[in-house]
Amino acid sequence: MKQIHLSINGAGCETACIHCWANGGRYKNMSFDDIQFVVKSFNNFSESNGYNLGFNVMHEPLAHPDAVRIVQLRNEQNSDYAAFQIPTSGIPIAIREDYKELLDGLVKNKVENLHFVLHGIGDTHNKAVNSKNAFENFKIAIERTKAAGLICSVAIFLNKLNVSQFSEMKKLLSGYEINPDIPMIARYISGKKLQQYDEIRVEYSDLLPVLDELKENEIIDVGVGKRDLYHNLENYTEAAFYGKAVEGEKITTAYDIPERGDINLICDKDFNIYDGSANVFGKCYGNLKENNVAVFEKLNDDIVNDRMENVFSPTLFYPNETLPPLKELAEKYGDKNGQKIYAGGIHYKWLDNAFLKD
Ligand code: SF4
């Protein structure tokens, strides 16, 4: 049975993060009735055509006034999509007057874990997420979440501005008895915003003072999901990827391998339906509120005839361009001396250099 993953852009963030990978930010929430309408429409479509549907509500579900009902709706849908873990900036938990009801509602609906991201200490974190009191709110949210009996997990995303605060961040988290997830370095994701984020991307030499600490927690898996970033850091500079590409070698990292070969769809804030996911908007199938019959006819036609794009395909980003081979791409658009570190997606940077237009 084909699996459809539907992202509903129905809950605006409390932040506008400089690194946003998902076209998130502040926007007006969809009403809960509208979210239900979208889910019901897609359920009918999936049931009639023998597809399996799972959905999630982007971007900051806990900022939605009906966050608990959204969790209930997801739990009713499909056990694979049950909301055991919810990502959050923490701000909704710190600023909502009904935070107790929110957290209790999450616990009652089988949520076990809230997942936070820390981008530095104090103003470094505030600036990264573009929210004045974000760091203080992060701390309040951790305390409240723990007091409600939920697990807090925290990822640290390293960049040029926060790498010197790495030990302080770890100390802060250990004060809450939290072990940070393996500190992350973003892969390159195509787009203007991510191109700007590249300006503060961490470089090889920035990581040397903390490299031993970073290696400590790194899990090395010898399978497809091999993540040996910190143990072999020199292999992850732009220069290293450039060298391989011009020699005709593959430069795919574990992070570049698509996780799913299923059908990925977006219902945007205005109810337009797209092929794609997060920041990758492919073909538009029309507007669900204006003409859902036409939307589902076109969609089914493409699914049946196997015309759905893979979300990670470069052709989805550059639909009207002829893409050069990797070697040529590297030679023309890569930096052979580049010392920035990429956990993946370097070819998207070169493609952006070649094709990204205002
Ligand atoms: S990174 Fe996440 S929290 Fe930040 S703006 Fe994007 S979707 Fe929202």
pLDDT digits (tens, 9 = 90+) for 87-100: 999 999 999 999 99
**pLDDT exceeds cutoff 50 at 222:** no
Mean pLDDT for 130-139 is 97
Q: Indicate the helix (H) or strand (E) that contains 219.
A: none
Spacing, Cα 327 to ligand 1 middle (Å): 34
pLDDT band at 303 (very low <50, low <70, confident <90, very high): very high
- pLDDT score for 316: 76
Spacing, Cα 25 to ligand 1 middle (Å): 6
Q: Which of 104, 106, 125, 108 is nearest to 116 (CA)?
A: 125
- Ranges 124-138, 195-209, 259-273: which has the least confidence: 259-273
Cβ of residue 22 lying under 6 Å from some atom of ligand 1 = yes
**pLDDT exceeds cutoff 90 at 309:** no
Q: Which residue has the higher pLDDT, 189 or 260?
A: 189
pLDDT band at 311 (very low <50, low <70, confident <90, very high): low
Spacing, Cα 340 to ligand 1 middle (Å): 23
- pLDDT score for 254: 66
User: Does residue 330 fall inside a structural domain?
Assistant: yes
User: Does residue 239 fall inside a structural domain?
Assistant: yes
Spacing, Cα 16 to ligand 1 middle (Å): 6
Cβ of residue 60 lying under 6 Å from some atom of ligand 1 = yes
- pLDDT score for 218: 76
- pLDDT score for 179: 87
Spacing, Cα 148 to ligand 1 middle (Å): 24
Cβ of residue 173 lying under 6 Å from some atom of ligand 1 = no
- pLDDT score for 115: 96
Mean pLDDT for 100-116 is 97
User: Does residue 56 fall inside a structural domain?
Assistant: no
Cα torsion at 154, 160, 163, 165 (round to 10°)? -90
Residue 252 gets which letter from DSSP? -
- pLDDT score for 255: 67
Mean of per-residue pLDDT scores for the chain: 91
Q: Which of 209, 205, 227 is nearest to 218 (CA)?
A: 227
Spacing, Cα 343 to ligand 1 middle (Å): 19
User: Does residue 347 fall inside a structural domain?
Assistant: yes
Does the CA dihedral 31-41-84-187 come out positive or negative?
negative
Supply the range of the domain harboring residue 325. Answer: 188-258+316-358
Cβ of residue 41 lying under 6 Å from some atom of ligand 1 = no
How many domains are there within the chain?
1
Question: In sequence order, which residues have a C-beta less than 8 Å from that of residue 26 and are 6 or more positions away?
Answer: 12, 13, 14, 15, 16
Cβ of residue 16 lying under 6 Å from some atom of ligand 1 = yes
Predicted TM-score (pTM) of the model is 0.93
Enter the tokens of residue 358.
Answer: 């205002």
pLDDT band at 207 (very low <50, low <70, confident <90, very high): very high
Sheet holding 113-118, edge to edge: 85-87, 113-118, 151-156
- Ranges 65-74, 300-309, 311-320: which has the least confidence: 311-320
Helix axis angle for 99-108 and 134-147, nearest 10°, is 50
Spacing, Cα 283 to ligand 1 middle (Å): 23
Q: Is 13 helix (H, G, I), strand (E, B) or coil?
A: coil
- pLDDT score for 327: 96
Asked whether 338 and 37 are in contact (CB, 8 A), the reply is: no
Spacing, Cα 24 to ligand 1 middle (Å): 5
- pLDDT score for 260: 55
User: Does residue 31 fall inside a structural domain?
Assistant: no
Q: How many CB atoms lie within 10 A of CB 198?
A: 16
Query: pLDDT by residue (tens digit) across 318-341?
Result: 888 899 999 999 999 999 999 999
For the chain, the maximum distance between any two Cα atoms, rounded to a whole number of angstroms, is: 59
Mean pLDDT for 187-198 is 86
Cβ of residue 89 lying under 6 Å from some atom of ligand 1 = yes
- pLDDT score for 223: 53
- pLDDT score for 110: 93
Pairing outcome for strands 113-118 and 263-267: unpaired
Q: Distance between CA 60 and CA 137 in Å, rounded? A: 15
**Per-residue CA distances from 122 to 13, 131, 133 (Å):** 20, 11, 9
- Ligand 1 mutation pick, 17, 88, 126, max ligand atoms within 8 A of CB: 17
Q: Indicate the helix (H) or strand (E) that contains 280.
A: strand 280-287
> What stretches of the chain show up as alpha helix (H) in DSSP?
32-49, 67-77, 91-95, 99-108, 123-129, 134-147, 166-175, 192-197, 204-207, 211-216, 238-246, 292-304, 314-317, 326-333, 346-355
**pLDDT exceeds cutoff 90 at 70:** yes
Residue 181 gets which letter from DSSP? P
Mean pLDDT for 264-289 is 92
Cβ of residue 25 lying under 6 Å from some atom of ligand 1 = yes
- Residue 253, Cα to own-chain centre: how many angstroms? 17
**pLDDT exceeds cutoff 60 at 36:** yes
Spacing, Cα 26 to ligand 1 middle (Å): 9
Enter the tokens of residue 177.
Answer: 């008895």
Asked whether 288 and 295 are in contact (CB, 8 A), the reply is: yes
Cβ of residue 7 lying under 6 Å from some atom of ligand 1 = no
- pLDDT score for 258: 59
Asked whether 203 and 160 are in contact (CB, 8 A), the reply is: yes
Mean pLDDT for 98-116 is 97
- Ligand 1 mutation pick, 56, 60, 138, 268, max ligand atoms within 8 A of CB: 60
Mean pLDDT for 100-127 is 97
- pLDDT score for 66: 98
Query: pLDDT by residue (tens digit) across 238-249?
Result: 999 999 999 999
